[in-house]
């Protein structure tokens, strides 16, 4: 699938642009429409006034060996998994599945699973492994054969084992696990200022990523919500759970040799590390 995307991250603009150009030259199967756009971009003469930054078509969705990327993003609640995932999708053709978004969608639609999960999500407790494994299994089935990343799942060793056997049964094991290592002192402030557009999962932060119009989603104009579980009590519980149940996954995946950690106090500092990592792995 061809993804046309505008790179907004100014520090990376030139490197992204260079890579995009290189990718475009390598790609033989560009659609004619995007080829035209790419050609006109490359033909730009130096005398032409520098207009608005061009839209850059990017088609990068497989690993070097032709295998789709099957990746997890791990990290404490509020570490910025959703933010990284959104930025990555501006540059790479990866489908992102967030277990929290899947649950919130099911709750909003009052599906059977959503009704069963509702109380646990609101209180910051974990939803039962059975419910979440089934939901994620269905999501992965829908995107079989594509590059994907999972955010928020697995949350404990039992879920990791369930995911492993799900993937092994189709001969498509994980090939990357990325851990976001963010100081906890930074995380609480972020949580208090976080708002979400539930239908899309778009996340805003009042300090560093505010919506254009206060209280509404930039794309749809629909209202933003402060997540019911983004309050100090519920957050404390989620953090404790993370330490008790999810952090042990680092050891689990370290043993399989697919784990990489990126550390930093902000998503802006972590993103270039993440980008460079994917850049090396993608064709």
Binding-site members for AMP are: 99, 104, 125-127, 152-155, 159, 227, 238
Q: Check binding of 57 to ligand ADP (CB under 6 A).
A: no
CB of 193 to ligand ADP, least distance (A): 13
Q: Check binding of 153 to ligand ADP (CB under 6 A).
A: yes
Q: Check binding of 157 to ligand ADP (CB under 6 A).
A: no
CA separation, residue 181 to residues 12, 28, 162, 205, 268 (Å): 21, 38, 25, 19, 13
Q: Check binding of 139 to ligand ADP (CB under 6 A).
A: no
Measured at CB, which residue is nearest to ligand ADP? 100
The DSSP secondary-structure symbol of 6 reads: -
Stretch that binds ligand ADP, among 23-31, 44-52, 152-160, 216-224 (CB under 6 A): 152-160
Size of the site for ligand ADP (CB under 6 A): 19
**Closest C-alpha among 257, 244, 70, 260 to residue 157:** 244
Q: CA-to-CA distance for 54 and 70, rounded, in angstroms?
A: 30
Q: CA-to-CA distance for 212 and 218, rounded, in angstroms?
A: 6
Among 72, 96, 126, 182, binds ligand ADP (CB under 6 A): 126
Q: CA-to-CA distance for 191 and 226, rounded, in angstroms?
A: 9
Residue from 81, 87, 190, 202 carrying the catalytic annotation: 81
Among 7, 37, 74, 103, binds ligand ADP (CB under 6 A): 103
Q: Is the peptide bond before 175 cis (omega within 30 degrees of 0)?
A: no
Site string for ligand ADP, 60-89 (x = CB under 6 A): -----------------xx-----------
* Whether 227 is catalytic: yes
- 99 or 267, CB closer to ligand ADP? 99
* Whether 105 is catalytic: no
Stretch that binds ligand ADP, among 21-29, 37-45, 147-155, 269-277 (CB under 6 A): 147-155
CB of 151 to ligand ADP, least distance (A): 7
* Whether 25 is catalytic: no
- 61 or 78, CB closer to ligand ADP? 78
User: Residue holding tokens 């910051």?
Assistant: 124
Show the CA angle centred on residue 211, arms to residues 207 and 214, nearest 5°: 95
The DSSP secondary-structure symbol of 222 reads: P
Q: Which strands make up the sheet holding 259-263, listed edge to edge?
A: 95-98, 148-151, 70-75, 176-181, 259-263
Three-state DSSP class for residue 180: strand
Three-state DSSP class for residue 145: coil
Instruction: Tell me which residues touch ligand ADP (CB under 6 A).
Output: 77-78, 99-100, 103, 120-121, 124-127, 132, 152-155, 159, 229, 238
- The residues annotated with a catalytic role in the active site are 81, 155, 194, 227, 238
């Amino acid at each position: 699938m061809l993804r046309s995307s505008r790179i907004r991250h100014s520090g990376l603009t030139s490197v992204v642009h260079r890579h995009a150009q290189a990718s475009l030259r390598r790609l033989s199967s560009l659609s004619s429409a995007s080829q035209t756009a790419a050609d006109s971009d490359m033909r730009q003469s130096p005398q032409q006034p520098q207009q608005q930054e061009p839209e850059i078509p990017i088609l990068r969705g497989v690993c070097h060996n032709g295998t789709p990327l099957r990746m997890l993003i791990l990290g404490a609640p509020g570490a910025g998994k959703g933010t990284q995932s959104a930025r990555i999708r501006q540059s790479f053709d990866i489908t992102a599945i967030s277990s929290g978004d899947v649950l919130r969608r099911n709750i909003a639609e009052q599906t059977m699973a959503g009704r069963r999960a509702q109380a646990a999500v609101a209180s910051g407790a974990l939803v039962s492994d059975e419910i979440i494994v089934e939901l994620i299994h269905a999501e992965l089935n829908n995107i079989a054969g594509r590059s994907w990343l999972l955010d928020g799942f697995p949350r404990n060793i039992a879920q990791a084992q369930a995911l492993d056997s799900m993937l092994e049964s189709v001969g498509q094991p994980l090939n990357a696990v990325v851990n976001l290592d963010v100081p906890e002192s930074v995380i609480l402030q972020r949580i208090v200022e976080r708002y979400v557009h539930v239908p899309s999962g778009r996340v805003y932060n009042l300090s560093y990523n505010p919506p254009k119009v206060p209280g509404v989603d930039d794309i749809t104009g629909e209202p933003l919500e402060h997540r019911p579980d983004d309050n100090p009590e519920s957050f404390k519980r989620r953090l404790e759970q993370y330490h008790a149940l999810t952090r042990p996954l680092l050891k689990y995946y370290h043993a399989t040799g697919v784990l990489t950690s990126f550390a930093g106090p902000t998503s802006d500092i972590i993103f270039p590390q993440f980008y460079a990592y994917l850049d090396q792995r993608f064709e």
